[in-house]
Chain A
Amino acid sequence: MNFIKELRRGLGLRASTVIVLVALVLTVSTLLTTVGAFDGQPQTAPSTIPEPSEHANDPEANLPFLFAVYMITWGAFFAYIFYLSRRQREMQGEIDALKRALDQREQAEAQSQSES
């Protein structure tokens, strides 16, 4: 119970409102689907999904779609790994520069103390 009190105290009005809204949207969408928003049409109603294309029976017909999926997936992974490694390198450089600056400042402070 202490945890819930702590959570409520820490979150405040604005966060509580956001959380309630998100919970409300999720609940309403779940209820809508439960009462049949997705399958509310009678079984005899025509499907909203058209028949497969005329080339569906040709095993090679959809090769460009397969190619597109693999290219997009691999492209996304490579781009993300490239972004991570570049960002890591940049941050490491910045960390090293800051450490050097701090080191120089500490040395200067130590020197001024020894002189005084």
Chain B
Amino acid sequence: MAQTSISQPVTGSSATYSTRSYLRDGLLIVSAALMAVTLYMVFMWVPTEQNLGVSQRIFYFHVPLGWIGMLSIVVVAVASLMHLITGKEKWDSLAYATAELGVIFATLILVTGAIWARPVWGVWWTWDAKLTTTLVLWFIYVGYLMIRAYGPSGTQGKRYASVIALIGAIDSPIIYKATDWWRTAHPERNVPSDLASEMLLTLLVAVVTFTVLYAYLLVERYSLRKSESDLDELHQRTA
């Protein structure tokens, strides 16, 4: 097989790379601006909750982190399904990048939740249904990455991980509905219906901010994944 010239990019085109760079820079600027607005709203604008005091402000970080944690596993599952159907590398790269972000967000959900639980419930951790199913989600993410790291190399390892991601996505609706199905320490609704309008607006802005930040991190990690693929390809050529 004839080798391609090294003057050409290993994968994609320079136009694709610059488009991705513009997207990445744009998302970074937008997420930084939105984060500034969110911090202003959380610390300066929104009123302090009467019963929980200042610790209730953790809510504006904890809930968006939870949303992203659940969104990530759905993205991983969809990308994994597309990889299983089409066999295309880009879907696998997307699933891998999202799973790594999922671990970070799931860890932050658990940590921020534990810190919030201590002053409000008096304990760092309790085997509440919502907490337990979130911990299961964290294990699913870690399991996915461990299969990628220590499982069979090549397409077989990718397929194993894809199937784990598909099974793991079942946990997402269970976490969401945990407060409806079981008696838990969490409020019955994920967002209370009697939330003051200022608090609801702050929460919505925080959710949008974290979603944009997540998109930025995803583009960044996906680019890195592409660079890793390029490097592997170059190593194969030079071998």
Contacts and interface: CB of A to CB of B under 8 A. Distances in A.
Interface of A: 3, 7, 10-12, 15, 18-19, 22-23, 26, 29-30, 33-34, 38-39, 48-53, 55-63, 65-66, 68-70, 72-73, 76-77, 80-81, 84, 87-88, 91-92, 94-95, 98-99, 101-103, 105-106
Interface residues of B, number: 68
Interface in B208-239: 213, 217, 220-221, 223-224, 227-228, 230-231, 234-235, 237-238
23 contacts: A7-B159, A19-B164, A19-B167, A22-B164, A26-B170, A38-B127, A38-B132, A52-B119, A56-B51, A56-B52, A56-B53, A59-B48, A60-B53, A61-B119, A65-B55, A65-B115, A69-B61, A73-B108, A73-B112, A91-B228, A95-B10, A95-B234, A106-B6
B231 A98 contact: yes
Contacts of B164: 18-19, 22
Given A15-B159, A33-B182, A88-B223, A53 B122 contact: yes
Interface of B: 5-7, 10, 48, 51-55, 57-58, 61-62, 65, 84-85, 104, 107-108, 111-112, 115-116, 118-123, 126-129, 132, 136, 143, 147, 155-156, 159-160, 163-164, 167-168, 170-171, 174, 181-185, 213, 217, 220-221, 223-224, 227-228, 230-231, 234-235, 237-238
A22 B167 contact: yes
Given A73-B65, A91-B227, 10 more contacts: A15-B156, A19-B160, A39-B182, A52-B119, A60-B53, A65-B115, A72-B115, A84-B224, A99-B6, A103-B7
B78 to A, nearest CB: 16
Given A7-B84, A33-B182, A66 B234 contact: no
Contacts of B112: 69, 72-73
A92 B217 CA distance: 18
A85 to B, nearest CB: 8
Nearest to A20: B167
B61 A70 contact: yes
Contacts of B128: 38
